Amino acid sequence: MKLNISYIAIITTFIIHMQCGLFGSENHAPEIVSITATPSTVPAGSSQTSTLSVVATDEDGDDLTYTWNAEHGWLTGAGRTVVWHHRHIVYDYSIECIVSDGKATVKESVIVKVVE
């Protein structure tokens, strides 16, 4: 059997690239370390807001983006910290933060209670 020298070179190069990780490595999803609401309880009859913050890391060092979702009330700001404004109705409100590294996403929610 006769092997072509260029074929051997291609296979050798491929093996070296695989061993060195030159074809890219596995992406690791971001991790949400903490998500907080300060304060976590607000009075229904007030205009008091709650500041929402998230701390997230990425093992690969990828840039992270943050998307906040609130079914009720509204959010101002962007990024790791936003402010939630309520509609004065007594309820336990869940606000979600989605963190992405452009390849994988994770999400977590925090509860803010609107009380009498």
Distance, in Å, from the CA atom of 60 to the CA atom of 1, rounded to the nearest integer, reads: 45
**Domain architecture of the chain: domains with CATH:** 31-115 (2.60.40.10)
- 33-43 mean pLDDT: 98
Within a 10 A sphere around the Cβ of 89, how many other Cβ atoms? 10
**DSSP annotation of 39:** S
Distance, in Å, from the CA atom of 42 to the CA atom of 24, rounded to the nearest integer, reads: 48
Query: pLDDT, tens digit, for every residue of 68-104?
Result: 999 999 999 999 999 999 989 999 999 999 999 999 9
The model's pTM is 0.78
Task: Confirm if 34 and 110 have CB atoms less than 8 A apart.
Answer: no
The percent of residues above 90 in pLDDT, for the chain, comes to 78
| Run of H or E residues at 68 | strand 65-70
